[in-house]
Structure 1
Amino acid sequence: MDCDTGIDDALALAYLCSLPNVDLVAVSSTPGNVDAEQVARNNLALLELCGRPGVPVAIGTRAPLRIPLVTTPETHGPFGIGYAELPEPHGQIQAVDAVELWIEAARSRPGELTALLTAPLTNFALALRAEPRLPELLRGVVIMGGSYFYQGNTTPTAEWNTHVDPDAAAEVFAAFSGLPEERLPVVCALESTERIELRPEQVAALAARAGCEEPELLAPEQTEGRRSTASNELVRHLSDMLRFYFEFHRRNGQGYAAHVHDYFAASVAVGTATYRTRTATVHVETASPRLIGTTVADFRGLWGEPPNARIVVENHPAEAFDELVRSVGGLGRRLDA
């Protein structure tokens, strides 16, 4: 997993940790929602909280390929995890660069690993520069990013991850051009991920599944400015993250809810989501000031260029939340036990 943790990245990471059959080989930290060092600290703390302290955490680049880094304290809080105050991690960030870690893992286990990319694509672009065979070495690639026939969430036309580093996104899609369809990355864009709209009642269901006796996040007037008092430690920290995210969405006229983009991408990567894709040729705009980071998909072959992506065009939110409650709630219960 490559992430810029980030509240929805944190939920995705907790979900991966909740699945006993998932071998989480490494977590690489890309600057985006916060700087790379803070991303890595968040990842170390979350892995320890979720019972996976041995997973290597590495940092790659500290900045986008060609433009300055812009972070999102208004969306995810100054440390990327909302109101949560995670315990100080005991583990250490790997001395090896994240790009080296990616390449070594892919070469040592060809055809086995899936790359889950929920951050700007900077680290993965650098890995492709260093090892152009990555698309063949990996079992699959899942990307959260972009928007097609859909408003952006950062500019009118651009999604956050591609807007932070459009040059990296352009390089990544170009690297997959002309490959067989089964080798193309699966892209979870805003039109699919904004359908995964988490609400307080689902957090309450997750808390109940984890064994909490008191309900969590029942209504905004009960939670404004308050810290979670959940008896379960994992639920308590996730609630404090998600409450910040709920409040951000409400301030922006989207209701007291949270788009948990990266959780959906994680469920696609591990095969628990039901979804449908269409192949397309993706272009990422890197020059026009007003359109930078905009992603355009040619589904009909009008450009006469080979496809380079499989874009999710159908998913099932109710199924996704049943899976989230069952799995992450179950993890919370096991950790308490």
Structure 2
Amino acid sequence: MTRRKIIIDTDPGQDDAFALLLALGSPDELEVVGVTAVHGNVPLARTTINAQMVIELAGRADIPVYPGCPRPMVKPGFTAEYVHGPSGLDGCELPPPSAPLGDRHGVDFIIDTVMAAAPGEISVCTLGPMTNLAVAMIKEPAIIPRLAEVVFMGGGFFEGGNTTPAAEFNIYVDPHAAHVVLASGAPVTMVPIDLTYKAVMTPEWLRRLRAVGKRTAVEAAGMAEFYQDYGNKKFGTDSYPLHDPCVIGYLLRPDLFQGRKCHVEVEIHSPVTSGMTVVDWWNVTKKPANCLVLRDLDNPPFYELMLERIARLP
């Protein structure tokens, strides 16, 4: 497998933290060239610090974090402390970051990095609202044909939404940004909640993670346990999905995932269905496909992969 250069755009969030750890535990396959923070699960000031703390937990303080957009492109902001706790990373105890922030705005980092690289060299993985990437595309459209791929966690179709009956959180928070990215013409892969709801972590897996004994694994287990508690109350089950690591899992093991190319549009007008991802799964409209939409994964080997890679970290 060719080593892939990626920018991770994130709003940590416990599940974002797992995505970061999975990527950082996979240096043979992925080179994380930078991390951009965005508003989302918690406000930007907090997501920026959280990204720094998780990166330092993994022993990679050399990777800079670039703070990006503090609010959606058009609509008012909306956060999810009700899921992730006031810090966004409740369940762990991490010291304040020691490394300095990156030297520019996250949007400019995306533009500069993509323009400086060879065409098709940089992939962008968005784990939260897509504001940073959308603004970068608007500010410098020349990045669009140079992107290798955009892989985003967000949206839903057969499962509906998890924030409103129609909309998944990341798209609901900034539907206009998602609209820009999906209409851009860039190669896009969608990791919707239809897939991520199948990426369930079990109590047994959490016990195995904590039993690794290393600091990163122990702190990650604490995050997961806090996050799982919300899921237990919502779904009445002791197994709850980690959404965002599926983006990194797809990059590492695409053979574990199944989907199809579809035309996808984002509803940006209706107050009732704002943020809905309209996936033409059955090609009813005959519009050209603009997105690879993932729907299924082989869950046991995905979690074995995540355990093995987090166990590599200090």
Compute the TM-score of the two structures, normalised by the length of structure 1: 0.87
Matched residue count = 305
Query: Pick from 60, 76, 86: which aligns with 1:78?
Result: 86
Whether the 8 Å CA contact 1:82–1:243 is kept in 2: the answer is no
Whether the 8 Å CA contact 2:148–2:187 is kept in 1: the answer is no
Q: Residues 272 and 281 from structure 1, CA distance in 2 versus in 1: closer, same or farther, beyond 3 angstroms? A: closer
Any residues of structure 2 matched to 1:161-200 within 5 Å, and which? 161-176=170-185, 184-200=187-203
Give the equivalent residue in structure 2 for 1:328: 310
Whether the 8 Å CA contact 1:114–1:269 is kept in 2: the answer is no
Whether the 8 Å CA contact 2:159–2:193 is kept in 1: the answer is yes
For the residues of structure 2 that align with 1:82 and 1:74, how far apart are their CA atoms?
Answer: 11
Q: Residues 274 and 154 from structure 1, CA distance in 2 versus in 1: closer, same or farther, beyond 3 angstroms? A: same
Determine if the alignment matches structure 1 residue 107 to structure 2 residue 115. Answer: yes
Whether the 8 Å CA contact 2:209–2:221 is kept in 1: the answer is no
Give the equivalent residue in structure 2 for 1:297: 279
1:179-223 deviation per Cα after TM superposition (whole angstroms, max 9, x unaligned):
xxxx52111101111100112211222233x3x3xxxxxxxxxxx
Give the equivalent residue in structure 2 for 1:224: none
3-state DSSP of counterpart to 1:24: strand
For the residues of structure 2 that align with 1:78 and 1:135, how far apart are their CA atoms?
Answer: 36
Any residues of structure 2 matched to 1:124-143 within 5 Å, and which? 124-143=133-152
Query: Pick from 225, 228, 241: which aligns with 1:243?
Result: 225
> Please, which moves more after superposition, 322-331 or 99-108?
322-331
Compute the TM-score of the two structures, normalised by the length of structure 2: 0.93
For the residues of structure 2 that align with 1:20 and 1:95, how far apart are their CA atoms?
Answer: 24
- CA drift of 1:33 comes to 0.3
For the residues of structure 2 that align with 1:297 and 1:311, how far apart are their CA atoms?
Answer: 8
For the residues of structure 2 that align with 1:26 and 1:20, how far apart are their CA atoms?
Answer: 13
Larger Rg: 1
Give the equivalent residue in structure 2 for 1:52: 60
Whether the 8 Å CA contact 1:142–1:187 is kept in 2: the answer is yes
Whether the 8 Å CA contact 2:9–2:128 is kept in 1: the answer is yes
1:289-312 deviation per Cα after TM superposition (whole angstroms, max 9, x unaligned):
111111111134433432211101
Question: Please, what is the CA RMSD of the aligned residues?
Answer: 1.5
Determine if the alignment matches structure 1 residue 13 to structure 2 residue 16. Answer: no
1:105-161 deviation per Cα after TM superposition (whole angstroms, max 9, x unaligned):
111112211111111011110011022233321221111000011121111121010
3-state DSSP of counterpart to 1:290: coil
Whether the 8 Å CA contact 2:89–2:223 is kept in 1: the answer is yes
Whether the 8 Å CA contact 2:200–2:242 is kept in 1: the answer is yes
For the residues of structure 1 that align with 2:22 and 2:254, how far apart are their CA atoms?
Answer: 11
For the residues of structure 2 that align with 1:300 and 1:259, how far apart are their CA atoms?
Answer: 27
3-state DSSP of counterpart to 2:304: helix
